[in-house]
Structure 1
Amino acid sequence: MAAGERVERTYGNWRKPTSPGILGLGLVGTLILLTGMVAVAITMMFALWAGLLVAGLVVLVLVPLGIRDRHGRNGLQGLTARIAWWYGRSAGQHLYRGGPLGPAGTFRLPGLAAASYVVDAEDSYGRPFGMIVVPSTGHYTAVLECAPDGAALVDPEQVDIWVAYWGQWLASLAYEPGIVQAAVTIETAPDLGIRLEREVSAQLSPTAPELARQVLTDIVDTYPTGSAQVSARIALTYSAAPRPGARRRSPEEMAREIGTRLPGLSAGLGMTGAGEARPMTHEQLAEAVRIAYDPNAQVLIEQARAHGGSGLTWADAGPVSHEEYVDHYRHDGAASITWGMSEAPRGEVYSSVLTGLLQPHRDIARKRVTLLYRPHDPATAARIVQRDRRDAVFRAAVAHASARDTVAIEAARQTEREEATGAGLVRFAMLVTATVRSPDDLPAAAAAVDVLAPPARVQLRRMYRAQASAFAAALPIGIVLPDHLRVPQVVRDAM
């Protein structure tokens, strides 16, 4: 390499939590297998036919656990999802009707966010913000709206600095008391030109020359055509209980706690390329959620902002109606499909790997890409990396070690070394939502996402039978999906 030549930085070594087990069954499957073998041996001591019956029952239980699809889901997970969907649909849970004539009498949010509400508060700088409260899980969420600088005409060295500071900001979340999740939502939609028109009208002088007035008028008429509006929001979710078993704090206490921490967190985003980060108010949160459920309301809300504000509240943010299908979701005259990331990029990638997935697409009216981060505290992170290394060694020892097993051991050891030197450990996921104005446009939107996913090096799985919940989780409202599931996280990781 010549002197002064720059080597482009790469990123990688993402690892999915796995469980040790025999024949790829996982810890739960292995325990069932060993227990079944002991039960068969004991039963056969009394009657051969009883032993064979017990063996058949064990096989029936293990077969669904041993069959996995290309996304890593076993047959038992698919079967339980189908049963839950059938039960919910027979009970009418896939339908929602809001408004004055609906059961609730308001336009409250459906599904997981049905009981949520917003509390008005102020941070230490005196900036007002809306705090979203989810009583069922005891979670409190504040949302920061950012103005990203973008990577156009930016030196690669500056991009590396932004990525380094972003990694440092994520690692610092491990030391935030009570934080549960940080969700980064990048949303792209067509620019209506209302903001440009408002800005030009406010700056235009009545005595301006006719030529200048004509030029500005042409700009207002032509510039929004084909342009897109990009918004970036970061939702920070805290738990009412600072630690397991502790007393849940009241909304007033959480408002003071979060208001004290927001200035430091927003200031830390300044070096990450996120631009100025300001907390979103109650009205801004309601507007963002309302537009997500009803894209046609964007025109009215933009016009209302030009005349002082829309006046929307959280009780008006939900849809008038929705209907959930197996593979898509219809809401207020629009239709959406949500995908979840089933596998992170393998190998090494560059910092621009998600650029294509984040950019607007002509076949998608509104596209929302949400990255969900769940930080681990330092003590938990140390236990996880040590267990991950032992699991990788065990999987390679129980069978002939393949190249993938050898790489997994090396990656686990590297992660353990990085954690020991102070790096943070964060569990992350991704949700991609494509919204169109007519159900007839859904095939084109699905094809567009299928084209955008491979260059991003991510494997996406359509969230079958969970479209409404995934749609809500992709919104910046603090929905933490693992805490809404009946099966504990420890059991799911062991399957």
Structure 2
Amino acid sequence: MQDKFTADEAVQYSLGQPSVRTGLGGFSMKATAIIAVGFISFLVLQLMGLAKWGFTLVLPLTIVCAVVVSVKWAGRSLAETVQLMWQDQRRKRAGGHLYFSGIGSRVPLGQRKLPGLLARTEMLEGIDTSGHKFGVILDRPRRDATVVFDCQLTGQTAMTQAERNAQTAEWSHWLAGLSLAGNIKHAVIVIGSYPGTGELISHEVQSLISPTAPMVAQTIMREAAQAVSVGIPEVYAHISVTYHVERDMLTEDSFLHQLSTAIAPMYESLTWAGILAHPMSATDITARAHVLFNPASEQDFEQMVVDNENHGLNWDDAGPSSAITLPGVYHHDGCASVTWEMKDAPRSSFEDTLLHKLIQPHDRLDRKRVALVYRPYESGTGASRVEDEHRDAMVAANSSKKLTSASAEMRLEHTDAARRAQSKGAQLGRYSMFVTATTDDPSDLRRISTEVVHLASSSSIRLQVMKRQQDVGFQISCGLGQVPWDKATTSKIIGE
């Protein structure tokens, strides 16, 4: 029997439904716990002869608490939304939405450090077993070490559908390997574009021209490079992988030796998935970070690459000179950026070209990047979670004598498919997406927002603007090892 991943027909993929545990009546586990505590408290008051307090205090309080943690608004519970609004107002009163660096600022030593989540990170460098230098973004307080792979994508090259299916299967195997590693917290895949100057293309063509070639051939090559480079955006891509470091290995930086043996097989295996990857050095990562925060420096860095010069910029000076966070936009070094988060993933099946329109360069979007975040469950944790969710789905589907709802049947089908997939070697993980668009003309933001939302809709994805979190969203979509979930400022009690 022919394997579906080597067939010439396009494979249909599905993300299933969001991973969630449910309690009684389809409520969340936290809402179920609140209802249980309220019911027990009501019974105790009844036995004590204080039924009046049970009806006037306990029952209304239980209902209110269950509602604020269950009802969702913009993908978050009402309690989380209210807490975020309060925290944003408190930050504005303290001036925390303003950032200024350099001489005369409050930043120590007058440095231009990266703001927000990246402020306390530091840069280290090691050499892997293949002899390549690799930079490590270290968040020492959280013991997180991030390595970054620069990627050259080959998805637009001519290939058969069977080859595309095989590459997609290899990408799935690569993601599954993140769960088996045990110490990987998350991986972020970033694909972006910016207006090209033509310098890189000209440099590449010049390196290909042989000095002994006929002058006519050399002239044709140079003219072709000039014609192709006009108005053609540059595409960049990188993958960041964040490891959790043990405390005893952090003190002596001995984790660098461990990373040097772990990352080489990781980026070399990406070749089978159609991605030509190599580790980025500390110098390369610093340049990438600075260009993202200061787009005006793009041409300068391109010229230094062509001239084979070192930019001499330290990690502690890679940040912007100024930044202002507003509820719906992030201003940084003369540019304005808007970041969206994925509200709803595709619920139906899709082919491997689903994100093509969203990630490819766009004529009316000068600077755009898409960041896919994958957070793997450890192998054992994922297996138990799949079983628990399947058990919840079975209870929900069989809890009523009436006709089972279509949503309950779909959930049972998806959880059963997840169990079967895991038995064949698949692993469980959580997906998220962030999209950032940057412009040097703030008056153009409305049109840009319409374009981005339309592109996402064509990929069956619903986006929403990260209200009151634009600075955080911008830093996450940079793909430099920072994600919001383990740094959340909202209480875990009122979350999902």
Output the TM-score relative to the length of structure 1.
Answer: 0.91
Q: 1:206 to 1:353 in 2, by over 3 A?
A: closer
Aligned match for 1:108, one of 102, 113, 120 = 113
Q: How far apart, CA to CA, are the structure 1 residues paired with 2:299 and 2:152?
A: 21
Is 2:139 aligned against 1:138?
no
Contact 2:23 2:32 (8 Å CA) reproduced: yes
Worse-matched range after superposition: 417-426 or 439-448: 417-426
Q: Counterpart of 2:253 in 1: which secondary structure?
A: helix
Contact 2:7 2:162 (8 Å CA) reproduced: no
Q: 1:377 to 1:447 in 2, by over 3 A?
A: same
Deviation, 1:409, is 0.4
Deviation, 1:180, is 1.0
Equivalent position amino acid for 2:303 in 1: Q
Task: Give the aligned partner of residue 197 of structure 2.
Answer: 192
Q: How far apart, CA to CA, are the structure 1 residues paired with 2:169 and 2:7?
A: 20
Q: Counterpart of 2:145 in 1: which secondary structure?
A: strand
Task: Give the aligned partner of residue 287 of structure 2.
Answer: 287
Equivalent position amino acid for 2:279 in 1: P
Q: Residue deviations 1:384-403, cap 9 Å, x none?
A: 10011012123334455311
Task: Give the aligned partner of residue 269 of structure 1.
Answer: 270
Task: Give the aligned partner of residue 310 of structure 1.
Answer: 311
Worse-matched range after superposition: 11-20 or 444-453: 11-20
Task: Give the aligned partner of residue 459 of structure 2.
Answer: 456
Contact 1:137 1:484 (8 Å CA) reproduced: no
Deviation, 1:209, is 7.0
Instruction: Let me know the Cα RMSD of the aligned residues.
Output: 2.4
Q: Residue deviations 1:350-386, cap 9 Å, x none?
A: 0000100111112222111111111222211111100
Is 2:299 aligned against 1:299?
yes
Correspondence list, 1:32-181, <5 A:
32-43=34-45, 45-46=49-50, 48=52, 51-69=55-73, 71-104=74-107, 105-181=110-186
Task: Give the aligned partner of residue 21 of structure 1.
Answer: 23
Equivalent position amino acid for 1:435 in 2: T
Contact 2:25 2:396 (8 Å CA) reproduced: no
Deviation, 1:211, is 5.5
Q: How far apart, CA to CA, are the structure 2 residues paired with 1:5 and 1:29?
A: 47
Contact 2:13 2:350 (8 Å CA) reproduced: yes
Contact 2:9 2:162 (8 Å CA) reproduced: no
Output the TM-score relative to the length of structure 2.
Answer: 0.91
Aligned length: 484
Q: How far apart, CA to CA, are the structure 1 residues paired with 2:145 and 2:243?
A: 5
Q: Residue deviations 1:240-272, cap 9 Å, x none?
A: 12xxxx745336211111111111111111100
Equivalent position amino acid for 1:73 in 2: R
Q: How far apart, CA to CA, are the structure 2 residues paired with 1:185 and 1:12?
A: 21
Correspondence list, 1:369-448, <5 A:
369-398=370-399, 401-448=404-451
Correspondence list, 1:333-344, <5 A:
333-344=334-345
Contact 1:22 1:398 (8 Å CA) reproduced: no
Worse-matched range after superposition: 372-381 or 108-117: 372-381
Q: How far apart, CA to CA, are the structure 2 residues paired with 1:6 and 1:218?
A: 39
Worse-matched range after superposition: 44-53 or 451-460: 44-53
Deviation, 1:152, is 3.8
Q: How far apart, CA to CA, are the structure 2 residues paired with 1:483 and 1:492?
A: 15
Deviation, 1:419, is 1.0
Task: Give the aligned partner of residue 228 of structure 1.
Answer: 233
Q: How far apart, CA to CA, are the structure 2 residues paired with 1:323 and 1:456?
A: 31
Q: How far apart, CA to CA, are the structure 2 residues paired with 1:228 and 1:251?
A: 43
Q: Which runs of 5+ in 2 are unaligned?
A: 1-5
Contact 1:137 1:483 (8 Å CA) reproduced: no
Task: Give the aligned partner of residue 467 of structure 1.
Answer: 470
Equivalent position amino acid for 2:67 in 1: V
